[in-house]
Amino acid sequence: MIDIKFLRENPEVVKENIRKKFQDEKLSLVDEVIALDAESRKAKQEADDLRASRNRISKEIGALMGQGKKEEAEAKKAEVAAGAKRLAELEASETELQEKITKIMMVIPNIIDESVPIGKDDSQNVEIEKFGEPVVPDFEVPYHADILDRLNGLDKESAGRTSGNGFYYLMGDAARIHSAMISYARDFMIDKGFTYCIPPFMIRSSVVNGVMSFAEMEAMMYKIEGEDLYLIGTSEHSMIGKFKGQIVEEKSLPITMTSYSPCFRKEVGSHGIEERGVYRVHQFEKQEMVVLCKPEDSMDWYNKMWSYTVEFFRSLDVPVRTLECCSGDLADLKVKSCDVEAWSPRQKKYFEVGSCSTLGDAQARRLGIRTKGENGTYLVHTLNNTVLASPRGLIAFLENNVNEDGSVNIPVALRPYMGGKEKVLPKK
């Protein structure tokens, strides 16, 4: 959510930003919110004047009563009573107008960074850099579900009976690799100086509304029936919510955290849920990184964060590339975002395994997260980035480390988490 003062003073900048995001249907909202804001400020000014008048008249009444001028004092009391009625009307109007303004402001997109490429959708995202040589072996790399099957590692049929489509059982060596990758991702980020955290896996609607747009919430979040709770789609939601309504000490910035959680997503949309594999599922596990920092430091942290994900996957012998998200592919709260994509030797193309975003002060404004420095109190900037989301990260690992005989190589970095194993062997 952008600053109402900024919108008031720069309406054309806000409109141009909306055009860059190809959301022309929202252009009229700028003028609407400006009109409501003017009406709200007018009501506030009149209410403030009435309060000042009430205080002044109250003092006059006291003086008149002290002088025995009861009749004049009663007239002043009637004046205060009349003002009180109007003040109540104005206060109700202020509340109603502010609710309307907030509702509109919540759907006006954040101002994107000047470096963001302009494009309508993800087909116009821009490749930044490749890391590692994308190799296609001289044998046909199996579909990841078939690699897992040869390890006796995947059972979607049973999961279908217990939970429905979009769920899975991981077993044996496959489950062990999955857990090893999560544990390695945790320690990888701890070694980078991040504080490890396991957050709540359910959050209230006030936190949901603070960290994401209404459209994202509707497409992603599972609501707990009968309670004001949602299952998290990523631990970023809980981690940013941790600071809701807080003034953090400026000397504590940057706050750098890495969090583990299961994640739950509806996956509503055109992609659909895979019948055989585990690329797009309703439940997965994730190691995330979250940073709260001073505004002037946010871009430096943005670049550090995505580079950590690149380094993590390269340590597992997975070639990756970074892809700059274009304006039309950015969620409304994001200032700038890039995807880290892993090489798929089976498909001979890259696919997304992580996403890094800076949201400026949008989440902090919604949630009231501030810090106090020499120049006063100000909003912090928030950033988030995927270290590892598995089983998607597991797919990348398997495809890039599988051998023709179905065995899977274990890179040096992962061996301490696999009991020293250098390779896992197929069971069939």
The residues that bridge with 262 in the sheet, in sequence order, are 285
HSE value, Cβ hemisphere, 13 Å, CA-based, for 339: 19
Residue with structure tokens 């309703």? Answer: 282
CB 107 within 8 A of CB 213: yes
Distance CA 192, CA 171 (A): 31
Cα gap 20→335, rounded to integer Å: 12
What does the CA dihedral 399, 402, 406, 408 come to, rounded to 10 degrees? -120
Q: Within 13 A of 333's CA, how many CA atoms are on the CB side?
A: 26
- Residue ranges of the annotated binding site for L-serine are 234, 265, 288, 384
Backbone φ and ψ for 141, nearest 5 degrees, come out as -75, 125
Q: Alpha-carbon distance 336 to 20, whole Å? A: 13
Phi then psi for residue 229, to 5 deg, are -145, 145
Binding positions for ATP: 265-267, 281-284, 352-355
Compute CA 165 distance to the chain's CA centroid, rounded to the nearest angstrom. Answer: 26
Report which of 333, 327, 328, 388 is spatially closest to residue 358, judged by C-alpha positions. 333
Contacts for 84 with CB less than 8 Å, ≥ 6 apart: 54
CB-based contact 158:165 (threshold 8 Å): no
Structure tokens that stand for 319 in this block: 């070639």
Look at the block and give the residue holding tokens 């580079």.
307
Count Cβ atoms within 10 A of the Cβ of residue 278 and give its class: 0-12 exposed, 13-18 middle, 19 or more buried: buried
DSSP 142: P
DSSP codes of every residue in 215-267: HHHHHHPEE-TTSS-EE-SSHHHHHHHTTTT-EEEGGGPSEEEEEEEEEE---
* Distance, CA of 367 to CA of 221 (rounded, Å): 19
**3-state class (DSSP) for residue 425:** coil
Numbered residues of the known binding site: 234, 265-267, 281-284, 288, 352-355, 384
